Amino acid sequence: MINKIYSSIDEASYDIHDGSSVMIGGFGGIGSPHNLVQAMSGKARELTLICGSIGAIMALKDVSCIKRLISGYVSTLLAVKEEWARMAKMIDEGEIGVELVPFGNFVERIRTGGSGIPAFYTPVGAATIFGKDKETRIFEGRECFLERALRADFALIRAHKADRMGNLAYRKTARNYNPIMAMAADVTIVQADEIVEVGELEPDCTHTPGIFVDRVVHVEPALTKFARVRKRT
Amino acid sequence: MINKIYSSIDEASYDIHDGSSVMIGGFGGIGSPHNLVQAMSGKARELTLICGSIGAIMALKDVSCIKRLISGYVSTLLAVKEEWARMAKMIDEGEIGVELVPFGNFVERIRTGGSGIPAFYTPVGAATIFGKDKETRIFEGRECFLERALRADFALIRAHKADRMGNLAYRKTARNYNPIMAMAADVTIVQADEIVEVGELEPDCTHTPGIFVDRVVHVEPALTKFARVRKRT
Amino acid sequence: MQQRGMTRELMCMRAGQELLDKGYTYVNLGIGIPTLLPEFVPQEAEIMFHGENGVLGLGRVVEESEWDFDLSNASGEPVTTVPGVSYFDSSLAFAMLRGSHVEASVVGAYEVSEKGDLANWQGPGIRTGSPGGSLDIAVGVKHVIAIMMHTTDEGKPRIVKQCSLAITAKGVISTIITNLAVMDVTSQGLILREVAQGITAGEVQVVTEPKLIVSEQLKEIAL
Amino acid sequence: MQQRGMTRELMCMRAGQELLDKGYTYVNLGIGIPTLLPEFVPQEAEIMFHGENGVLGLGRVVEESEWDFDLSNASGEPVTTVPGVSYFDSSLAFAMLRGSHVEASVVGAYEVSEKGDLANWQGPGIRTGSPGGSLDIAVGVKHVIAIMMHTTDEGKPRIVKQCSLAITAKGVISTIITNLAVMDVTSQGLILREVAQGITAGEVQVVTEPKLIVSEQLKEIAL
């Protein structure tokens, strides 16, 4: 019998180790697996974290575990949380390396990483610093550059409902990067609001088929309600 | 008020013209917009048809309207229908040009065509005739070649449910190429089994958001039940 | 310094008019001020607002107390949605932008040049940045409207001859709506089309780096 | 010519055993004979069969009279599904193959070479062809099992030194199951592991072009 349910967060994420690369779902923290992220703090260091915005890692207690950040949204959020003053300093001092990637290229790199496509050309960021030092090429009169697929050792994602086979459904805008990252990691670990019986998820609306999922852990949705990351400035 | 509903197939497909390129959804005819295809016969000639297999165009009464076929599955089906002996002959005599594309590259070319990505590298078909005369390149020790995005003037697709805004939901394996082709044509025309009120489709399970859809026409599902195209040989 | 002219809400209202005038249906709202916009467009107009976070059919911003934690606009704010709303993953959200399915976008900006160059991903003195979806919008969407304060808090022009900040994309802004004016980017240069109530063309020129072409039909913004 | 050895159903049964022995969960079934396979694997084993037409959780083939016209396997046949089934678009269906998420695949074949080269997209004398998903399977799936008749109807070997037909991919077949035998493709050559009931190793060699290495554990196929 297929059973991907783990009884605790610690068991589900036991093998995240020093030097791991970890993708983390969520958009500005919405739909992020905050409890999985929280548990990662202090367990492993020298991590490469791959997340849309740093809102996805707001539950990280100790930012010194980060070695490298691949993300599309960093600076604007650094002032939001007190702990992040330290992250800002580490970035400024080069202790955390940052690779900034515009969101569309970011998600396409991950999608191709999970789909066996090694590289693609994109027009987004051509003639800006995002295309600097990359191979450029004109397609139909438009400058593009080559972007490479992106994969990770682990993907931490959050789903609304999951079954023991790893089938997942997301809710509203909490979907975002989650289903794409689920495809692109060696081990995909899911924090699910609710575990349902096999057959309860509508087969036409199973956003992530179980084939992409390795481990599922149930976390009461109340615990996922971290404070909103961003105030209008 | 957004209203993409057309009252007849003829009205919905009035501007398919000689020389048009037309994508047609469906996998082996399942999920294909057979009634839209049927109506296309005799209305326009010199067509470039883009379809997974020729099962998608089994409702075409007169194959002489085809100038070019971009497809992943042709030969095995040519013996299935009597009318297709003529297609086989036209292909043999070069009257219909055929560009064969393996399914995975086929769908990725269409997906990129609808996504503003001009080209990508694929390992599928490298060192075979599918990669012949294409730009090859090694990624992580694996031979790949460059595939270009594919778009069309029209996409004819079939959905299970549609609303006046063009939001669509598909059913079971009738989904296949339909949502991808919907993204990649200048005009996307949908044959829907059922028209529902706005708000009836579950927002988390709207497979194709209305932004990709131009016209919707209701066709009783009974009429979509064309004979199965393939017998086990 | 207290900025003159329109508030953010009024700027959003004016941007909403622009969308209605053009008859757009699918409009992206960039992170920041633009996400306030749905409140200022009548729902009967059925403009489907796109959020790069994976939603088509954004409504107005609501109180935090009403918040469904699984739903926000691209700025991370609690919102309502409109009938016909759909949710999708980030891959599809950005395909809608990059693939030019979205007709128009309203974005915030640090600077816009007279040629329509946009700088909105990296603030002054910042080492990293927050490109987010701004480059996807700039590259993929045909009509990009910038909505911005006309000057910095210190009174420095933000509509400039050449961007001093790192650019998002070249020549992508068609329309600029500020607290003081509405301007069109054309091959001739920036055309001053409308001014805020009580503001003169001359006053706008003083805080604008490039020379403005004052439209013969120059009028006051009517909301 | 009447072919000796196992029927297609028995070949599928033997292939099912192979999948169970290896403990696979996610197995693609190529177009043709392989789509018969789910009938011959106990449902309790919970092997989730993948159809490139956009389904994970294929069941057995059913009568046409029971047909739900919106549901088929990759061969276009009416089927049942198993609990936990999901449906998805073709983009995701092929990402599962190309991206190596599917652990194994059972495919039909016209020819397989002793090095594991596969020819299954273009029959002899055909001008066009039907690659379908066969190249995606061949490239993306680690364990590809060919299930095929050992010879052509005319008795010509289909397990050959070098494919005469256009190849799908080089060196991708690990296991060959025919009506006569089970063989493993290894760096040493083709190892004859099992023979069908009443068939000798010598008989298999006669209709096989490359020299077979007869396994010391050679046994009769037990179903």
Q: Which residues of B touch C (CB under 8 A)?
A: 1-2, 111, 114-117, 163, 165, 167, 183, 198-199, 201, 203-204, 206, 209-212
Q: How confident is residue A222, by pLDDT bands cut at 50, 70 and 90?
A: low
Q: Does A170 touch chain B (CB under 8 A)?
A: yes
Binary contact (B172, A204; C-beta < 8 A): yes
Residue C207's Cβ-side half-sphere holds a number of Cα atoms within 13 Å equal to: 22
pLDDT value, residue D113: 98
**Phi and psi for D194 in degrees, rounded to 5?**
-145, 150
Checking if the pLDDT of B232 tops 80, the result is no
Type of residue at A79: A
* Per-residue tokens: A104: 């569309």
How confident is the prediction for chain A on average, in pLDDT?
A: 93
pLDDT in tens, D139-170: 999 999 999 999 999 999 999 999 999 999 99
pLDDT value, residue A233: 39
Residues of C in contact with B199 (CB under 8 A): 83-84
Checking if the pLDDT of B224 tops 80, the result is no
What is the distance between the alpha carbons of residues A97 and A70, in angstroms, rounded to a whole number?
Answer: 8
What is the distance between the alpha carbons of residues B138 and B217, in angstroms, rounded to a whole number?
Answer: 47
What is the mean pLDDT of the segment spanning C30-39? 92
Q: How confident is residue A225, by pLDDT bands cut at 50, 70 and 90?
A: low
Q: Which among C40, C31, C48 is positioned nearest to C11, based on CA atoms?
A: C40
Strands B97-100 and B66-73: parallel
Checking if the pLDDT of D39 tops 60, the result is yes
Binary contact (C135, A102; C-beta < 8 A): yes
Query: What does the CA dihedral D2, D4, D6, D7 come to, rounded to 10 degrees?
Result: 0
Choose among B115, B165, B198: nearest Cβ to C98. Answer: B115
Binary contact (B209, C86; C-beta < 8 A): yes
What is the distance between the alpha carbons of residues C218 and A167, in angstroms, rounded to a whole number?
Answer: 59
> Which stretch of A143-157, A210-224, B112-126, D66-80 has the lowest confidence by average pLDDT?
A210-224
Percentage of chain B modeled with pLDDT above 90: 87
Among left, alpha and beta (phi > 0; psi -120 to 50; other), residue C108 is beta
Checking if the pLDDT of D175 tops 50, the result is yes
Q: How confident is residue B223, by pLDDT bands cut at 50, 70 and 90?
A: low
The nearest CA of chain A is from the CA of D108 a distance in Å of: 23
Catalytic annotation, pick one of D18, D52, D103, D111: D52
pLDDT value, residue B230: 46
Cα–Cα distances in angstroms (integers) from residue B233 to residues B29, B72, C202, D72, D143, in the given order: 18, 19, 82, 17, 26
Mutate to test the interface with A, among B111, B112, B117 (most CBs of A within 10 A): B117
CA-nearest residue to B113 within chain C is C99
The nearest CA of chain A is from the CA of B85 a distance in Å of: 37
What is the distance between the alpha carbons of residues C58 and C35, in angstroms, rounded to a whole number?
Answer: 9
pLDDT value, residue C64: 81
**Strand, coil or helix: what is D49?**
strand
Choose among A75, A124, A172: nearest Cβ to C98. Answer: A124
pLDDT value, residue C86: 98
Checking if the pLDDT of B128 tops 60, the result is yes
The nearest CA of chain A is from the CA of D89 a distance in Å of: 10
pLDDT value, residue D1: 47
CA-nearest residue to B206 within chain A is A205
Residues of A in contact with B140 (CB under 8 A): 118
Q: How confident is residue A201, by pLDDT bands cut at 50, 70 and 90?
A: very high
What is the mean pLDDT of the segment spanning C165-191? 97
Handedness of CA D141, D143, D148, D150 (dihedral sign): positive
pLDDT value, residue A114: 98
Residues of D in contact with A204 (CB under 8 A): 87
Mutate to test the interface with C, among A50, A124, A139, A224 (most CBs of C within 10 A): A124
Cα Dmax for chain C: 50
ipTM > 0.90 for the complex: yes
pLDDT value, residue C145: 98
DSSP annotation string for B151-191: -EEEEEEEEEEE-TT--EE--GGG-TTHHHHHHSEEEEEEE
The nearest CA of chain A is from the CA of B69 a distance in Å of: 23
Residues of D in contact with A1 (CB under 8 A): 44, 46
Residues of B in contact with C96 (CB under 8 A): 209, 211
pLDDT value, residue A230: 47
pLDDT value, residue A97: 97
Q: Chain B neighbours among D 151-180 (CB < 8 Å)? A: 166-170
* Per-residue tokens: B36: 């839209």
What is the distance between the alpha carbons of residues A200 and B187, in angstroms, rounded to a whole number?
Answer: 37
Residues of C in contact with B180 (CB under 8 A): none
pLDDT value, residue D32: 85
* Per-residue tokens: A52: 């849309």
Residue C24 burial (10 A CB sphere; 0-12, 13-18, 19+): middle
pLDDT in tens, B136-147: 999 999 999 999
What is the mean pLDDT of the segment spanning C86-102? 98
**Neighbour tally for C105: CB within 10 Å:** 28
DSSP annotation string for D148-163: E-SB-TT--BSEESS-
pLDDT in tens, A32-66: 999 999 999 889 999 999 999 999 999 998 999 99
Binary contact (A205, B205; C-beta < 8 A): yes
What is the distance between the alpha carbons of residues A104 and C212, in angstroms, rounded to a whole number?
Answer: 35
pLDDT in tens, C194-213: 999 999 999 999 999 999 99
Residues with Cβ within 8 Å of D91's Cβ and at least 6 positions away in sequence, in order, are: B107, B108, B111, B180
Sheet holding D143-148, edge to edge: D79-87, D55-61, D48-51, D26-29, D104-107, D143-148, D173-178, D181-186, D189-195, D212-220
Percentage of chain C modeled with pLDDT above 90: 91
- Is pTM beyond 0.95? Reply is yes
Contact call for residues A179 and A170 (beta carbons, < 8 A): yes
The nearest CA of chain C is from the CA of B180 a distance in Å of: 10
Binary contact (A204, B205; C-beta < 8 A): yes
Q: How confident is residue B231, by pLDDT bands cut at 50, 70 and 90?
A: very low
pLDDT value, residue B41: 83
What is the distance between the alpha carbons of residues B164 and B215, in angstroms, rounded to a whole number?
Answer: 9
Residue B50's Cβ-side half-sphere holds a number of Cα atoms within 13 Å equal to: 28
Q: Which among A71, A87, A89, A1 is positioned nearest to A29, based on CA atoms?
A: A71
pLDDT in tens, B14-51: 999 999 999 999 999 999 999 999 999 889 999 999 99
Type of residue at A53: S
Give catalytic residues of C, as residue numbers: 52
* Residue D52 a catalytic site member: yes
What is the mean pLDDT of the segment spanning C72-83? 95
pLDDT value, residue A77: 81
pLDDT value, residue B233: 39
Sheet holding C159-160, edge to edge: C118-119, C111-113, C159-160
Contact call for residues B29 and B38 (beta carbons, < 8 A): no
